[in-house]
Amino acid sequence: MGFGIRKETVDKSRKTREIISQVFVCNKAGRKRLSYKRECGKLVNRRPDTRVDCPARMKIKLTSSKTWIVTKFEAEHPTHLLSSPDKVFNHYSHRQSHLSKTCKRIIENLSEEGMAPSTIARVYNVVSKSIDEEYITAQQCIDHIRTIRKNNIGNECISIIKNF
């Protein structure tokens, strides 16, 4: 619908520690605690506040029959504009943490050829638009390349020795 979500509160059972209720809110709900830094004797705000007290929220509760029910729902976003459908993937809650195997292979191959993550993301998104696949961001490319490098630590020495 054009907005990101985040968890506001989570209530857990004291005995079993399982989640018994949870509140999901719009990512613009509430006010963020501001961090201040002293400069020249006055307080300076480090970052602008992106939250605007949006009242949109949904509370869910676990029943005794182990099913979830919605106990409170507020759908209106009167304090801010919603994102357009082509920009909704930029919300943190909408980013996919999983990539398909073909996407991972393409990222790995293009990275080995020396392409930058932002260029890899642009190339993949242009190609995948015609195939109607997933959309990836440059940060997802960076994350995948980082995990590949972490998993390749022991094999780097062997590949260098084989090369020489």
Block mean pLDDT (10 aa), the chain, length 164: 78 91 85 59 63 85 92 83 68 65 88 91 81 74 88 76 84
pLDDT, residue 158, reads 78
75 and 111 assigned to the same domain: no
Q: Specify if 136 maps to a domain.
A: yes
109 and 41 assigned to the same domain: no
44 and 104 assigned to the same domain: no
How far from 69 is each of 5, 54, 60, CA to CA, in Å? 18, 23, 5
Residue from 15, 105, 12 nearest 62 by CA: 12
6 and 60 assigned to the same domain: yes
2 and 54 assigned to the same domain: yes
- Consecutive H or E run containing 68: strand 68-74
pLDDT, residue 31, reads 76
Q: Which of 47, 82, 117 is the last residue of a domain?
A: 82
pLDDT, residue 36, reads 53
Identify the domain containing residue 120 by its residue range: 95-164
28-66 b/e (C-beta count within 10 Å ≥ 16 → b):
bbbeeeeeeeeeeeeeeeeeeeeeeebebbbbbbbeeee
Torsions phi, psi of 61, nearest 5? -140, 145
pLDDT, residue 94, reads 63
**Number of compact structural domains in the chain:** 2
Q: Specify if 33 maps to a domain.
A: yes
58 and 107 assigned to the same domain: no
Q: Specify if 89 maps to a domain.
A: no
Q: Specify if 132 maps to a domain.
A: yes
pTM for this one?
A: 0.52
109 and 154 assigned to the same domain: yes
36 and 1 assigned to the same domain: yes
